[in-house]
Amino acid sequence: MSPSLPGPRRAPARGRRAFAATWWGQAWVTALEDSTLDSGRLSRGRTYARQGMVGPVTVAPGQVRADVQGSRPRPYRSAVHLPVLADAQWDTLLDTVAARAGHLAALLDGEMPAELVDDARHAGVPLLPQPTELDPECSCPDWGHPCKHAAALCYAIAATIDADPFLLFALRGRGRDEVLAELRARRTAGRTVDTPPTPAGIHAAGAYAAWAALAEHAPRLPKLPEPSALAAALPIPAPTGSGLTSTDLERLMADASARATRLLSGDTSTLRLTQHQDAVRIAASDPGPEWFHHLIQNTGANPIAFARLTRAWRHGGPTGVAVAEQPHSPDPSAMAVARTSLTAALAEMTDAPVRIRAWRNRLTLTNRGIQLRLGPDARWYPYLQENDGEWWPAAPAATDPVAALTAVWQRTGT
């Protein structure tokens, strides 16, 4: 059995360890400091954090964001990314929490059980961040990794992680309410072991794969009615106390029938969506302002960030959302070729010099407010910097970076 990590402790008022008073908060700080050899930028980051230069922090799956005031009047937009856990890893982590009654009690009391982290780590699930996992991002011109603004954000969030260990779960992909709901479901299942087991069934993707294997021998499907007609043919009243109206129920049935139609035609892109992604998908179908508000409210999403993801879905579906949320490190040669093509195209499009800044899978035309992101599907997704200073999806993806640039070039007024 591995040694347990030390229990909660108070930190000195100053110094590198002043930002975290618990072992799990200090683990976050240690991951930051072990990710770089640049002690100077870390020192400046600590100073910025102590001076209150970090604005309100937004936490979303896989990232934490905030405006950080630097030497210029306008604050910089800083973020730190952390890989989210896969569904299988979440199952392992939740089973680990549920295995001991004291784990959940400790979490609800604001404590992170060291044994929980040890057991999860040995099972291949990294709840606490590793130095190689923290991925900083900032709008400042500093190329440091991290720059002092992203370092300040990391230091500033440590105290919040101290007070609420569920924040680590949220950064890994699932918020407090979703984690507690999953744990309640596991506890309920454990209390009904004497009842006849319910057939487990298989995942929708597996069911489709089995059907597809036999599809060529199956009888030809009849022409399916339009989703709206199918919903109208099922006048089932909304369940009492569900909060749903008949119109809501019809919309849900129309959505289900539309997805089934796409599935039967071979489109499996929505089979493995998370709850968060499915909410974005529904919002992108223009369900109306009331539904949009309820989707934001019930998922706990930041309204502006949710609206950005909705636009990303409209332009690129599930892959578009992934590109909006998670930067990645593609083949450097692909980025170099794209940068060369863009440089040549820009020489013909404008006489003014255009600086192209490369970071991970993103090429940013810094003085034009245009950004191109290379997706995992080898397509380029164009973004524009809006008045709020954030990058918003601006057009469908293209296989050619120059085509993606052209799609948004005129909209910048250049």
Q: Tell me which residues of the chain have a pLDDT lower than 50.
A: 1-16, 191-196, 198, 227-228, 230-231, 233-234
Residue 155: its pLDDT value, please? 92
List strand residue ranges (DSSP E) for 214-355, in order.
none
Residue 240 within any structural domain of the chain: no
Residue 261: its pLDDT value, please? 73
Three-state SS for 358? strand
Domain boundary among 169, 190, 211: 190
Alpha helices (H) along 51-147:
87-99, 101-108, 114-122
Clarify whether residues 275 and 385 are in a common domain. Answer: no
Number of structural domains, the chain? 3
Helix (H) or strand (E) holding 20: none
Residue 34: its pLDDT value, please? 85
Clarify whether residues 274 and 290 are in a common domain. Answer: yes
Clarify whether residues 145 and 271 are in a common domain. Answer: no
Residue 162: its pLDDT value, please? 86
Query: Which residues on neighbouring strands pair with residue 385, listed in sequence order?
Result: 391
Residues in the chain: 414
Residue 235: its pLDDT value, please? 53
Residue 219: its pLDDT value, please? 52
Clarify whether residues 285 and 377 are in a common domain. Answer: no
Residue 209: its pLDDT value, please? 60
Domain boundary among 325, 360, 387: 325
Residue 401: give the domain boundaries. Answer: 332-410
Residue 8: its pLDDT value, please? 35
Residue 144 within any structural domain of the chain: yes
Clarify whether residues 112 and 62 are in a common domain. Answer: yes
Residue 221 within any structural domain of the chain: no
